[in-house]
Structure 1
Amino acid sequence: MKLTQALISAVQLRKDAPGTIHAGRSRSWKEIGRRVACVAGGLRRLGIEPGDRVAILAHNSDLYIEALYAIAWAGAVAVPLNTRWAVAENAYAIDDSTPKLLLVDKAFAEIASALRGAKSLTAMVYLDEGQVPDGMQGYDELVAHAPIEDASGAYNDLAGIFYTGGTTGFPKGVMLSHANIVYESLVWIYALRFREDTRYLHSAGMFHLAGTSPMIALTLVGGTHVTIPKFEPELAMKTIAEHKVDYCLFVPTMLNMMLNHPSFGTYDLSSVRDCEYGASPMPDALLVKLMRVLPSWRFHQGYGMTESAALATILPWEYHALEGPLASKRKSAGRAAPGVEIRIVDPAGNEVPRGTVGEIAIRGAGVMLGYWRKPEESARVLRNGWLHTGDGAWMDEDGFVYIVDRLKDMIVSGGENVYSGEVENAIFQHEHVKECAVIAVPDPQWGEAVHAIVVPKDGARLDSEMVIAHCRTLIAGYKCPRSVDIRLEPLPLTGSGKIMKSALREEKWQGYTRSVN
C-alpha cells in the first residue's frame, strides 16, 4: 500500500466530510484530493521527477498535509526539515539529501535565503498565504495547475527521508518506504482506535514521525485533521474546546505545561476521548495527577523511534490503573505493537532471560530501509533483520518492556532527542576547548537537560556563557547546554581511553532514577 492510497480512500468514502481544519478554514476530503493532484501537477511543471527529493521547512498547517501527499502523488520523496534546528543544521540536511525544491512558510521565509545557495535547489515554493516573497513560487500557483494521475510508484519505494540526531555529530537521514509508514499507520488505527469520526489535534511537529504516522492513519479512516502551527499550552486547550477534538498526542512536557498553565480549567477539554503520550520520560506522579484531573481521558503510551517508523510498543489505556493487579504495568512502555517483534538482547544479539537488562531489538514492517548515504551506520544498527535501538530495557514474563537507560548517551529534553555527540561536536569547534563531555542531568520542567563539562586549553579564558553562546551559532537552541561546568583537571577516562560519562552522570543523578516510565 502507498501513502496516496490513504488519500484516495478518504476521498472515495468520506468525500463530503471535513478533512482538515486550520485557523478557522475547513476543507472536505473531495476538495483536498483535487488540490493534491493539482499541486502534484505543479511540482512536475517545476521539474520534479519520480525519485527527486522535495524538502519542507514549515510549521503545521493544512497546506503541509496537502504538500506531503502531493509530493508522494508526483512520485517524489519528501524531506521534512526540523523547525527547531539552526540554519546550519538544516543546511547540512539539504546538502546531504540534495532536494530540487524547498517549500517554506512565512515563519521560515527569511531563513530560506540562507539556504538558497544549496547546489541542488532549483526553486522555492511559499507554502503559505499572502504576499509571495521575491524569488519564490506561490503555493496557490501550484494549486492552479491541471491535476495529474497518481504516480507514487511501488510500496517499497522510498517515500521520505526523516532526519534524526547523529551519534557521530551529524544528523542521519532515516529512509522510510511507503510500506513502512502505511503499516505503522495501520497500527494506529487498530491499536490506538482511530475512527472515521475522530477529530485529531496535530500538536507534534509534522516533521516528526509522531506527526506523520497519525496523519496517514487518520487519512486512511477519513477522520478530521485539526492543526495548530506549533504547541502552545493555551492554544492547544482553546483548539480542543473550540473544535471538539477527541484525540490528542502530547509529550509529557506538553501535558505538564497545560496542567500548570493559569488557564487550565477554564477550557472545556471533556471532548477528548483518547490521549497518546511518549517521546520522553513520563514521571509517574504527573501521569497519576493527569488521570485524576482529566478522568474522561483514556491515556495510551507509545514507544518507538524514527528508525521504526514510530510505534514499536504500546501501553493501552486499560493498563493505566491506579491500583489493582494492573497498576505495576503502568510504569512499563507496554508490549510489542501488532506485527512488531521485540527482543531484549546482549551485545552479541542473543536474547537475554526475562528480567535481565539488555538492548531493545525490533523487527517488523515499520523498520527503516537504512540511513541515507550512510551504509556503515545502517549496517551497525540493522543486523540479521533486526533494528538494534541502543536503548536498554528488560522484559517481564508477560512481554511488557521496561526501559531503564539509553545506551547511546541520548538526552531526552522536553520530548526532543538530543545526541551528546552533536553537542560535543559543536563545543569542540570553539578554539579554546581542550576536552568536553555532554550528559543528561535531571530537570524538573523538561525531564532531562543538556549539561556540558568542558576543559579549556591551557591558559585560555572560557566560561559557561561563552560556551552556550558559541553553541547557539551552530545548533538548535534546545540542543544547547543549559548548564556548563568548567574544569581545569582532565576528564576521567575508561581503560580504553574513552571519557567515563557514567562517572560524570553519577555526580548529577544522586537521589534520582534515570528511567522512562
Structure 2
Amino acid sequence: MYLTQGLHRHVQQRPDEIATVCAGRTRTHAESVDRIARLAAGLQQLGIRDGERAAILSLNSDRYSEFLAATLWAGGVVVPVNIRWSVPEIAESLAEVDARVLVVDDVFAGCTEGIRAGHPWLRHVVHGGDGPTPDGMLAFEQLVETSEPVEDARRGGDQPAGVFYTGGTTGRAKGVLLSHDNLLTSAMGALATDHVTPDRVLLHAAPMFHAAAFSGWVGNGVVGGTQVAIPVFDPVAVLTAVQEHGVTDVLLVPTMIQLVVDHPRVDEFDLTTVRRLMYGASPMSDALLGRTMKVLPNARFLQAYGMTELAPVATLLTADDHQDPRHRRSVGRAAPHAEVRVVGPDDVELPRGEVGEVVVRGGSVMLGYWNRPEETAEALRGGWMHTGDAGRMDDEGYLYLTDRLKDMIISGGENVYSVEVESVLAQHPAVATCAVIGVPDDTWGERVHAVVVPAAGATVTLEELRASCTGRLASYKVPRSMDVVDALPLSPAGKVLKRELREPYWAGQERAVH
C-alpha cells in the first residue's frame, strides 16, 4: 500500500464531500486532490522526487496537510519539524537528512536566515502562510496555481515515507525513518480497534509534526473523513471548532484534556458530536476521566501507548477497557498489528507480573535511525524494538508501565532527554556539575527539574539558568524548578544515581512515569 492511495478512492467515491477545513477555507476531496497533484508538480520541479526530503516548519493548517500529501505524491519523503525546537536544533536536523526544500508559515518565516546558516545546502524555502511572501521565498499558492497536475508517483510498501525526529539517550535527537507500510500498519491497527466511518471529522489540535498526530492524519486519509485544523492548541479554539464543524474525533494529551474540560466556558458549547477521544503520553486520572465523561457524554475513549519508532502505536486501551477500574492504570493490550513482550536483560520473556523492558515487534517497527546503523542494530536486536520503557504485564495481557529505562522526561507530551539539557546547563560558569530529572507536575505530567552543584564560591539561581538556555534549547526543555546541593549521589563507577534524586519526589506515586 501507499499513503496517497486513499486520495484516489475518495475522489472516486465522494468527490464533493469535505476534505479539509481551516481558517475559513473549506475544500472538497476533488478540490483538495487537484491542489495536491499541482503542488506535487511544483515540488518535483524543485527536486523533490525519488526519496528526496522536503521539510515543513509550520503551525497546523490545511496547507500542512496538502504539503504532506503532495510530497508523497511527488515521490518524496516528508520531514515534519518540531516547532518548539530552537533554530540551531532545526538547522542541525535538516542538514542531517539533507532536506533541500523547506515550507514555512508566517510564524516561522523569520527563522529561515538562521536555518540557512546552519544548513547552507537548503535550496528552496516555500512560504505557506497567509501574509505576503517574503523576499527570497517561493509562494505556496503560486506553486499550486502555476503547475499542471502530475500523476501520483505511488511510492509505497517498505519505501521511506518520512523522517520523524525523536530524542535519544545520547542527548541528540535521532531521525526515525518510517516507511509507507510502517505508518499505514500502525494507523490501520488503531482504526481496527474502534470502528471508524467516512463521516469522521477529525480535529487537529495537537501539533501535526508529532507522530501521533501524523498517525491520525494517516488514518483519516484511509477512511476519507474531514480534517479540521486549528493552528495551535487552545481550549476555547478546541471548543469552538467542535461546535462549529461537528467534530467527531479529537486527539489530545491529558494535559490538554484537563485544560479543555476544566475551562470556565466549557458549558457554553455543544460538544455532543464528539464520538471518540484519543489520548496518549500518559494515563488520565480517574477524577479527570470522570469530568471528561460528563463534558463529552457521547464520547468513547481510546488510550494509545507507543513511540515514534513504532509509527507510533504499540498498545491500546479500548473504550470498553475504560469501563473497568482494574485496567485504567494500564496502557492497554497489544494493538492488532503488534506483538508486545516484557523481557529481562537477556531478552527472554519474563513471567507475568515481573518488571522488565517492553519490546515490540510487527509491521509498524521503523526502518531504522537515519544514518545510525549501530544504534539501529542495538534498538532492533533480535527483531524486536527495545522501547527503553520498563513495565509488567498481567495475565490478561494488559501492560503497566512502571519506570523508564531511558533517561527521558515527558513534559506536556514532549520528550525531553536530560543529557541534552545537562550539556547546556553545565556551560554556565556558576555550575560545577548537574543532573536533570523529571518530577511530578499536576499540569505537565512531569516537569524538567535541575539538581545543581555550584562551582566553588559561586551562587546560581533558577532564573539565571533558564536565561542561559534561551535560544539554545526549546522552551519545553528548559528547567522549571531546581535544587542546589553540595554533591550528586554517585555509583562506584562514578555514574550519577538519578533514581536517588527522583525518590523524594516520586514517593507515594503509583508509578514512576506520568
340 and 114 in structure 1: CA distance in 2 versus 1, 3 angstrom threshold: same
Equivalent in the alignment of 1:133: 134
More moved, 460-469 vs 221-230? 460-469
Task: Name the counterpart of 1:25.
Answer: 25
Which residue in the other structure is 1:146 paired with?
Answer: 148
Give the aligned partner of residue 259 of structure 1: 261
Preserved CA contact (<8 Å) 2:106 2:131: no
Match of 2:184 among 168, 182, 185: 182
8 Å CA contact retained: 1:160, 1:175:
yes
1:391 to 389, 392, 400: 389
- 2:249 corresponds to which residue? 247
Q: 1:80–1:161: 8 Å Cα contact kept in structure 2?
A: yes
Give the Cα separation in 2 of the matches to 1:319 and 1:52. 43
Deviations 1:48-99 (A, max 9, x none): 2312111100011111001001111111111100011111211221121110
Find the residue that maps to 1:331 and give its secondary structure: coil
Match of 2:355 among 339, 357, 369: 357
- The residue aligned with 1:85 is 85
TM-score by length of 1: 0.96
* Matches of 2:133 and 2:188, distance apart in 1: 38
Say if 2:283 and 2:331, in contact at 8 Å, map to a contact too. Answer: no
Work out whether residues 88 and 114 of structure 2, in 8 Å CA contact, stay in contact via their aligned partners in 1: no
Which amino acid is 2:479 matched to?
P
Determine whether 1:432 maps to 2:430: yes
1:392-411 maps to which residues of 2 (within 5 A)?
392-411=390-409
Q: Look up the SS of the partner of 2:107 in the other structure.
A: helix
Alignment correspondent of 1:201: 203
The answer for the alignment partner of 2:499 in structure 1 is 502
Identity between Structure 1 and Structure 2 (%): 48
| Secondary structure of the corresponding residue to residue 146 of structure 1 | coil
| Aligned position for 1:96 | 96
Q: 1:301 to 1:515 in 2, by over 3 A?
A: farther
- C-alpha distance in structure 2 between counterparts of 1:512 and 1:82, whole Å: 31
Tell me the CA shift for residue 513 of structure 1. 3.1
C-alpha contact 1:320 1:329 (8 A) present in aligned 2: yes
Letter in 2 for 1:81: V
Which of 143, 149, 160 aligns to 1:158? It is: 160
Query: What does the per-residue CA deviation read over 1:393-412, in whole Å, with 9 as the maximum and x for residues that have no partner?
Result: 11111111111111112111
Give yes or no for the alignment of 1:316 onto 2:314: no
User: Which digits, 9 at most, give the CA deviation of each residue in 1:144-171, with x for residues without a partner?
Assistant: 2011111242411111000011221211
Q: 1:434–1:455: 8 Å Cα contact kept in structure 2? A: yes
Bigger mean CA deviation after superposition, 370-379 or 151-160: 151-160
TM-superposed deviation, 1:188? 2.8
Are the aligned partners of 1:200 and 1:226 in contact in 2 as well (CA < 8 Å)? yes
Q: Which residue of 1 aligns with 2:63?
A: 63
The root-mean-square deviation of aligned C-alpha atoms, in Å, is 1.4
**Conservation of the 8 A alpha-carbon contact between 1:281 and 1:516:** no
2:212 pairs with 210, 213, 222, which one?
A: 210
Residue 6 of structure 1 corresponds to 6
Alpha carbons 1:343, 1:351 under 8 Å: kept: yes
- Corresponding position of 1:327: 325
Aligned to 1:368: 366
**Residue 295 (structure 1) aligns with:** 297
Of 133-142 and 294-303, deviating more is 294-303
Deviation at 1:516, TM superposition (A): 5.4
Partners of 1:257 and 1:240 in 2: CA distance: 15
SS at match of 1:212: helix
> Which amino acid is 1:214 matched to?
G
Residues 268-297 of structure 1: CA distance to partner in whole angstroms, max 9, x if unpaired?
A: 111101101111242232123322443322
Matched residue SS, 1:183: helix
2:110 equivalent in structure 1: 110
Superposed CA deviations along residues 203-260 of structure 1, whole A, max 9, x for unmatched, are 1111011111111111111110111111100100110011110111110000111122
| Contact 1:78–1:159 under 8 Å retained in 2 | yes
Counterpart check, 1:53 vs 2:53: yes
Is 1:511 equivalent to 2:513 in the alignment?
no
For residues 451-473 of structure 1, give each alpha carbon's deviation from its aligned partner in whole angstroms, at most 9, with x where no partner exists: 00111222334222111111222
Count of matched residue positions in the alignment of Structure 1 and Structure 2: 512
Q: Which stretch shifts more, 265-274 or 284-293?
A: 284-293
Consecutive unaligned residues in structure 2, runs of 5 or more: none
CA contact (8 A) 1:433 1:457 kept: yes
Whole-angstrom CA distance in 2 between matches of 1:281 and 1:458: 43
- SS of 2:11's equivalent in the other structure is helix
The amino acid across from 1:289 in the alignment is R
**TM-score of the superposition, structure 2-length normalised?**
0.97
- Secondary structure at the counterpart of residue 418 of structure 1: strand
Structure 2 distance, partners of 1:428, 1:148, is 52
Q: Residues 199 and 225 of structure 2 are in contact (CA less than 8 Å); yes or no, is this contact kept in structure 1? A: yes
1:511 Cα offset (Å): 3.1
Q: Which amino acid aligns with 1:392?
A: A
Indicate which of 454, 467, 470 corresponds to 1:469. Answer: 467
**Change beyond 3 A, Cα 1:494–1:284:** farther
Of 428, 441, 458, the match for 2:456: 458
The whole-number CA distance in structure 1 between the counterparts of 2:30 and 2:513 is: 42
The partner residue of 1:304 within 303, 306, 317 is 306
Look up the equivalent residue of 2:314 and give its one-letter code. Answer: A
With 290-299 and 371-380 compared, the bigger mean Cα shift is at: 290-299
Structure 2 counterparts to residues 268-283 of structure 1, below 5 A: 268-283=270-285
C-alpha separation between the residues in 1 aligned to 2:301 and 2:468? 41
Q: Matched residues in 2 for 1:229 and 1:134: separation?
A: 24
Instruction: State the distance in 1 between where 2:511 and 2:411 align.
Output: 13
Distance 1:391 1:398 in 2: 20
Q: Secondary structure at the match of 1:207?
A: coil
| Deviant stretches of 4+, over 4 Å | none
Is the Cα contact below 8 Å between 1:281 and 1:447 reproduced in 2?
no
Structure 1 residue 450: Cα displacement: 0.5
SS in 2 for 1:73: helix
